[in-house]
């Protein structure tokens, strides 16, 4: 049987070896060949994927076991093969294959493999006292640093197939050396670079910046770390599942997953009677179409068989549960589970999540973000708030809805901009209903102002003020999957449908955006974008006046590292010092993140203090 679909995943070492074997002349043509090949249709016959290059020439990829793991599995029928540009172009156009999974993660016919293991996680046990990294690991870390610095030097436009292959080759060497965490970061950088160059609507520059910072910080720290810190930087290649006993779980919501590694699917969040969060993932290789339809796939745990959409509103009774440190439920043979009733967000035990004051939730999320990822509680970045919609804001980076949360102005943004998902349309509709009261779940975005990526909404308790009129008995909406209709909005004058007036975004309390903008610009456009003289002249005084003297020094050093170039004995310009520029950029990005976290905590706390003062004034007013 023959069907048409995307290319199979290709192992990182395959892409790296194919690109390394190209001549300098063909390397210059590789990006154009990759874009041209990606636009051609793909036919599949079993494990064989075929691309017709012309009427007489065919390119074949043999994906034994679901992915291409050998260079000989890519065969081209052109006259220049095997040294042609078509083979590495096909590898560059295909998604990157994930590493092999452990026994707990194996897929079945009815239940695909769950979300790939997070190499940054570690078991909640004491890390071994490792004195230092091995010479092999140090060499692998140096390769990762050099590849990451080259990607930063080139920027998105310059980080084509050759730069990506260097990252994938370094990732493969790092994985063989026992460094799965930085290797996963390198593969993540490649995925986000490809999304940026393909104009993927789900691409976010902030995600690429964070992934590149993760790669450079782990590669840089490996040469100086020992003991638990070294074990944390190395990460784990396998996700451990530990006994979890018996659990009574209640569904909270489902969210779509679109990973930079080429995986997609859904994660359904549940909670037990003690307020602990657990998640049930269904993630496999695929794109936005798989993420959009995964909510209707069946969850099989023991004797329970229900869709993710149903699980988000129902419950489970599980015995013999196995749980990973990041809260993922295993589906081993010894697990027994039956479907049970769920609970509303305003009913126990789920109502406890909204009982915690917002500023304490934000402080908890920020404190967890500062911990090593292995020690972060599951769902630590989730906030559960009662808000009132105010107005849409004109802001860069996407749609923003300003809401009031106990006196704190909170900016609600979409969790994913991909048009195949419902996030963007739902937020637009909510923005057309000022005064609407909502109970929401969102993911905290650290920054100088309170901001949340909205994941799910529902009706708040009580009958005061306009609320959603939903046909769903649970009274909740998973914003990535359930599409709101205008009939779901109240019809009062305060929430009458129509195009609301946009309000200009407000000024940032501290000019940390000046640093973030430069760090983002370096990633997007490369070192040359910061090498122009005088580009930071106006920003340095503003940072100093705001008390960010360290930030001003880092910004000046970033521009010096971008612009300084020596000359040889004949007066010719030497190449820029990519290592110095990468170190300056990493210091700037890390400082910006730390300051943003501090400003975020202060903003939530200030809003809570202001609300408390207003309550005290109301009590003493006769």
Contacts of 522 (CB under 8 A, 6+ apart): 152, 155, 529, 530, 558, 562, 585
- Lowest-confidence range among 79-83, 149-153, 616-620? 616-620
In the chain, domain spans: 3-11+21-27+37-92, 135-234, 251-340, 352-504, 512-601
Range 419-435 average pLDDT: 92
Tokens of 26: 């063909």
Please name which of 591, 589, 417 lies closest in space to residue 520, comparing C-alpha atoms: 589
Tell me what the pLDDT averaged over the chain comes to: 85
Range 7-31 average pLDDT: 93
Contact 577, 563 (CB under 8 A): no
Number of other CB atoms surrounding residue 127 within 10 Å: 16
- Residue pointed to by tokens 């890519």: 74
Is the pLDDT higher at 430 or at 397?
A: 430
Please name which of 19, 18, 15 lies closest in space to residue 186, comparing C-alpha atoms: 15
Place 130 in a pLDDT band, splitting at 50, 70 and 90.
low
Range 264-274 average pLDDT: 94
Q: Which fold has domain 352-504?
A: OB fold (Dihydrolipoamide Acetyltransferase, E2P) (2.40.50)
pLDDT above 70: residue 332 = yes
Please, which residues bridge with residue 68 across strands? 10
Contacts of 284 (CB under 8 A, 6+ apart): 107, 112, 113, 263, 264, 265, 290
- Lowest-confidence range among 35-49, 95-109, 170-184, 531-545? 95-109
Question: DSSP letter string over 404-451?
Answer: EETTEEEEEEES---TTSSHHHHHHHHHT-TT-EEEEEEEE--SSS-E
Contacts of 205 (CB under 8 A, 6+ apart): 196, 520, 523, 524
pLDDT above 80: residue 401 = yes
At 463 the pLDDT is: 67
For 354-400, the pLDDT digits (tens) are 999 999 999 999 988 877 666 788 999 999 999 999 988 876 656 88
pLDDT above 60: residue 597 = yes
- Residue pointed to by tokens 């205008």: 486
pLDDT above 50: residue 244 = yes
pLDDT above 70: residue 64 = yes
At 587 the pLDDT is: 97
For 440-453, the pLDDT digits (tens) are 999 999 888 889 99
At 225 the pLDDT is: 87
Tokens of 294: 């995964």
- Lowest-confidence range among 109-118, 253-262, 270-279, 462-471? 109-118
Range 72-82 average pLDDT: 92
pLDDT above 70: residue 114 = no
Per-residue DSSP letter, 101: P
Contacts of 571 (CB under 8 A, 6+ apart): none
Separation CA 481–CA 308 (nearest Å): 11
- Residue pointed to by tokens 């934000």: 362
- Residue pointed to by tokens 């799965």: 180
Q: What percent of the chain has pLDDT over 90?
A: 55
Number of other CB atoms surrounding residue 190 within 10 Å: 30
Q: Going by DSSP bridges, is the β-strand pair 298-301/304-307 parallel, antiparallel, or unpaired?
A: antiparallel
Please name which of 573, 565, 574 lies closest in space to residue 530, comparing C-alpha atoms: 565
For 531-561, the pLDDT digits (tens) are 877 667 788 899 999 889 999 999 999 999 9
pLDDT above 70: residue 614 = no
Contact 169, 597 (CB under 8 A): no
Contacts of 453 (CB under 8 A, 6+ apart): 413, 414, 415, 442, 443, 445
Separation CA 595–CA 609 (nearest Å): 21
Q: Exposed e or buried b for every residue in 510-546, given b needs 16+ CB within 10 A?
A: bbbbbbbebbbebbeebbeebbeeebbeebbeebeeb
Number of other CB atoms surrounding residue 210 within 10 Å: 17
Contact 351, 345 (CB under 8 A): yes
Contact 250, 315 (CB under 8 A): yes
Tokens of 272: 């037990």
Place 30 in a pLDDT band, splitting at 50, 70 and 90.
very high
Number of other CB atoms surrounding residue 55 within 10 Å: 6
For 476-532, the pLDDT digits (tens) are 999 999 999 988 888 755 444 444 443 444 444 578 888 999 999 999 999 999 987
pLDDT above 50: residue 208 = yes
Place 470 in a pLDDT band, splitting at 50, 70 and 90.
confident
Separation CA 542–CA 544 (nearest Å): 5
At 513 the pLDDT is: 86
Contact 496, 566 (CB under 8 A): no
Separation CA 305–CA 300 (nearest Å): 5
Place 266 in a pLDDT band, splitting at 50, 70 and 90.
very high
For 319-329, the pLDDT digits (tens) are 999 998 888 99
- Before 429, cis peptide (omega within 30)? no
Q: Crossing angle for the helix pair 205-221 and 180-197, nearest 10 degrees?
A: 150
Please, which residues bridge with residue 337 across strands? 318
pLDDT above 60: residue 104 = no
Please, which residues bridge with residue 478 across strands? 456
Question: DSSP letter string over 91-127?
Answer: HHHSPBPPPPP-GGG---SSS---SPP-TT---SSPP
The distance of Cα 144 from the centroid of its chain, to the nearest Å, equals 20
Is the pLDDT higher at 20 or at 537?
A: 20
Separation CA 478–CA 421 (nearest Å): 11
Q: Crossing angle for the helix pair 161-176 and 135-158, nearest 10 degrees?
A: 160
Q: Is 381 helix (H, G, I), strand (E, B) or coil?
A: coil
Contact 465, 437 (CB under 8 A): yes
Please name which of 475, 457, 467, 470 lies closest in space to residue 492, comparing C-alpha atoms: 467
Separation CA 257–CA 418 (nearest Å): 11
Separation CA 475–CA 496 (nearest Å): 21
At 139 the pLDDT is: 96
pLDDT above 70: residue 205 = yes
At 610 the pLDDT is: 58
Contact 147, 16 (CB under 8 A): no
Number of other CB atoms surrounding residue 579 within 10 Å: 13
Separation CA 611–CA 606 (nearest Å): 9
At 461 the pLDDT is: 85
Range 287-295 average pLDDT: 90
Hey, which bits of 178-276 come out as E strands?
A: 242-258, 263-271
CA 563, 568, 574 angle in degrees (round to 5)?
35
- Residue pointed to by tokens 């905290």: 444
């Amino acid at each position: 049987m023959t069907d048409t679909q995307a290319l199979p995943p290709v192992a990182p070492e395959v892409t790296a070896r194919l690109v390394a074997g190209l001549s300098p002349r063909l390397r210059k043509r590789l990006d154009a060949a990759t874009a041209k090949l990606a636009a051609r249709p793909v036919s599949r016959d079993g494990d064989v994927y075929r691309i017709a290059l012309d009427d007489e020439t065919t390119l074949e990829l043999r994906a034994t076991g679901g992915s291409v793991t050998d260079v000989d599995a890519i065969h081209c029928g052109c006259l220049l093969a095997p040294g042609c540009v078509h083979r590495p172009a096909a590898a560059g156009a295909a998604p990157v294959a994930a590493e092999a999974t452990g026994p707990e993660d194996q897929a079945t016919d009815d239940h695909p493999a769950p979300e790939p293991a997070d190499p940054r996680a570690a078991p909640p046990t004491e890390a071994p006292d490792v004195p230092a990294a091995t010479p092999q690991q140090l060499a692998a870390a140096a390769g990762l640093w050099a590849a990451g610095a080259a990607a930063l030097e080139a920027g998105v436009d310059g980080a084509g197939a050759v730069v990506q292959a260097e990252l994938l080759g370094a990732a493969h060497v790092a994985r063989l050396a026992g460094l799965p965490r930085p290797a996963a970061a390198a593969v993540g950088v490649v995925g986000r670079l490809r999304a940026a160059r393909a104009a993927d609507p789900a691409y976010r520059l902030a995600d690429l910046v964070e992934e590149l910072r993760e790669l450079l910080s782990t590669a840089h720290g490996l040469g100086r770390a020992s003991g638990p810190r070294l074990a944390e930087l190395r990460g784990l290649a396998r996700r451990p599942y530990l006994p979890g006993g018996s659990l009574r779980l209640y569904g909270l919501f489902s969210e779509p997953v679109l990973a930079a590694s080429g995986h997609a699917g859904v994660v359904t969040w549940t909670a037990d009677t003690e307020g602990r969060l657990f998640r049930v993932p269904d993630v496999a290789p695929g794109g936005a179409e798989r993420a959009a339809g995964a909510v209707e796939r069946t969850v099989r745990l023991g004797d329970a068989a229900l869709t993710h959409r149903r699980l988000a509103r129902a419950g489970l009774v599980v015995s013999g549960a196995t749980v990973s440190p990041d809260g993922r439920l295993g589906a081993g043979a010894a697990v027994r589970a039956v479907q049970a009733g769920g609970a509303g967000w305003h009913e126990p035990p789920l109502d406890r999540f909204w009982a915690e004051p917002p500023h304490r939730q934000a402080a908890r999320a920020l404190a967890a973000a500062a911990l090593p990822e292995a020690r972060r509680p599951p769902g630590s970045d989730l906030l559960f708030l009662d808000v009132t919609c105010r107005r849409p804001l004109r802001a860069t980076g996407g749609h923003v809805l300003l809401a009031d949360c106990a006196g704190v102005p909170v900016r609600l943004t979409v969790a994913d901009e991909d048009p195949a998902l419902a996030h963007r349309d739902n937020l637009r509709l909510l923005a057309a209903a000022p005064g609407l009261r909502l109970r929401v779940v969102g993911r905290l975005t650290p920054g100088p102002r309170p901001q949340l990526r909205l994941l799910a909404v529902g009706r708040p308790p009580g009958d005061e003020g306009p609320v959603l009129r939903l046909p769903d008995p649970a009274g909740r909406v998973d914003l990535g999957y359930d599409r709101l209709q205008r009939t779901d909005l109240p019809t009062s004058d305060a929430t009458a449908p129509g195009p609301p007036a946009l309000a200009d975004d407000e000024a940032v309390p501290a000019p940390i955006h000046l640093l973030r903008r430069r760090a983002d610009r370096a990633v997007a456009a490369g070192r040359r974008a910061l090498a122009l003289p005088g580009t930071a002249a106006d920003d340095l005084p503003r940072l100093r006046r705001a008390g960010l003297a360290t930030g001003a020094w880092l910004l000046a050093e970033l521009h010096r590292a971008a612009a300084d170039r020596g000359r040889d004995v004949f007066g010719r310009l030497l190449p820029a010092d990519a290592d110095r520029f990468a170190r300056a950029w990493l210091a700037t990005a890390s400082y910006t993140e730390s300051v943003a976290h501090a400003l975020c905590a202060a903003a939530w706390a200030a809003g809570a203090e202001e609300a408390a003062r207003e309550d005290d004034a109301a009590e003493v007013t006769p």
